[in-house]
Amino acid sequence: MMNKMRTLQKSLLALCLFASTMASPTGTKDETALQAVSQGAQLFSTNFIKTVAKEQQGNLISSPLSADIALSMAANGAAGSTEAQFRDVLQLPPKTQALNGFQNLIDILNNVENVTLKLANKLFIGKDFPVKSQYKQDLQTYYRSDIESVDFSQSAKAADTINTWSKEKTNNRIDNIVQASDLDPSLALVLANAVYFKGNWAHQFAASATTDRSFHVDANTIKQVPTMYRKGNYKYVELPEHEAKCIELPYANKEVSMVIILPDKIDGLATLIDKLEEVSVACNTRLAQTYEREVRVFLPKFKTESKLDLGDTLSQKMGLSEPFSNTANFNGISDVPVKIDKVVQKAFIEVNEEGSEAAAVTGVEMVNYSIILNQAIQDFNVDRPFFYGIVSSKPEEEAYIPLFAGFVTEPKVASDN
């Protein structure tokens, strides 16, 4: 029996996301719902990355879409002003449209070609916690979620169950998203989203062309780092009004690409992040409108792993305060009061001559209660701190979804950043 005297019952939401693409799914597709969810995800993602980036030192990799999916799973069980706050922060359309949109998006991401992409959701429920059947059904139907009962009083075993699932869904890249110390008998549930991506470049860099080159860590520090080189045709645009330039490096499935935004100034990354919304829109819009041109690309190899505690970021800086408070209303999940207690995300990326590999896990604990004419070859020399994103795009639908995003202040080929 549930102890009704207990005032604080926890639940945790765990997410893991990798890069993805907008290929045609099997079955029917609700274009309006998909577009609404895609546009909302893009708006949330930009705000998410901008907020997280300001709080991080060193290199960063994160998955805004992973956070978006996990939080939207929680939002589906919210009601009243708690639900309204979710919809405002996540830029969600009305509930029915949101459910249909995420269902279509998940199916699309799981049916891509020429890259490896796996996306999975799972609900881990405390063995004595009463979750409403409609909520379970919604997660199974619209989020393609599996459901498993676990005993959170056996914290080491429960943590192993969750971490094993995360590891399996991310090709062994994301492990230990939760610790046994994070779990206790008051934990109500864990909502988990896992996505894994591995893609080769459409045009790979020759390993023989990789050599150490100078990288300006800051105005006073230069380091020699392994830097890839390739001359080829790429979409490349300059953004003089933002003192930046950007390039699109497509993967073998060309609806997935890495977009790099490079400040003109060595110390220009902070300013770029401050106006990330405008720069991102300008970059995406102009890339969609331009043709490929010949570019000499110099890009450092790098590997980054980040673990982010997103509770304060979401509740204090992004306006998602009520779901974390004792007035949270998650009546759609359970009649037992529940609130979000913790949100964590763990993400990984490796970029080399062949392509990219990326993964992320986020955990949230809830507590009960134009034409180009004869242009010269351009150099795109990534020799200073830069911003990057792995995006899924369908320009004809105006859908650009950041799957992963981050920045590199000092390229490293080991992931212990």
Percent of the chain past pLDDT 90, that is, above it, reads 46
Closest to 147 (Cα-Cα) out of 121, 129, 170, 183: 121
Residue 110 — very low, low, confident or very high, per pLDDT cuts 50/70/90? confident
Answer for the pair 234, 151: CB distance below 8 angstroms, yes or no: no
List CB contacts of 72: < 8 A, sequence separation 6 or more. Answer: 86, 90, 92, 98, 102
Whole-number pLDDT of residue 415 = 52
Residues of the chain with CATH 3.30.497.10: 10-200+303-367
Q: Is the pLDDT of residue 279 over 90?
A: yes
Residue 198 — very low, low, confident or very high, per pLDDT cuts 50/70/90? confident
- DSSP string over 337-390: --EEEEEEEEEEEEE-SSEEEEEEEEEEEEE------SPPPEEEE--S-EEEEE
- Lookup: tokens for 417: 């950043």
**What is d(CA 319, CA 308) in angstroms, rounded to the nearest whole number?**
18
Whole-number pLDDT of residue 191 = 82
Whole-number pLDDT of residue 20 = 22
Closest to 131 (Cα-Cα) out of 274, 233, 11: 11
Whole-number pLDDT of residue 322 = 93
Whole-number pLDDT of residue 398 = 53
Better pLDDT: 185 or 289: 289
Whole-number pLDDT of residue 340 = 84
**What is d(CA 360, CA 352) in angstroms, rounded to the nearest whole number?**
18
Whole-number pLDDT of residue 22 = 22
Whole-number pLDDT of residue 2 = 38
The pLDDT tens digits for 9-64 are 555 554 433 222 222 223 345 788 988 998 899 889 889 988 998 888 889 999 88
Residue 335 — very low, low, confident or very high, per pLDDT cuts 50/70/90? very high
* Domain at 207-301+374-396: CATH architecture: Roll (2.30)
- Lookup: tokens for 386: 């830069």
Whole-number pLDDT of residue 260 = 96
| 243 Rama class: left (phi>0) / alpha (psi -120 to 50) / beta | left
Superfamily of domain 10-200+303-367: Antithrombin, subunit I, domain 2 (3.30.497.10)
**What is d(CA 27, CA 110) in angstroms, rounded to the nearest whole number?**
13
Whole-number pLDDT of residue 18 = 29
Residues of the chain with CATH 2.30.39.10: 207-301+374-396
Closest to 323 (Cα-Cα) out of 289, 365, 287: 365
Q: Is the pLDDT of residue 256 over 90?
A: no
Residue 257 DSSP symbol: E
Whole-number pLDDT of residue 365 = 55
Answer for the pair 348, 362: CB distance below 8 angstroms, yes or no: no
* Strands 10-15 and 355-367, sheet pairing: antiparallel
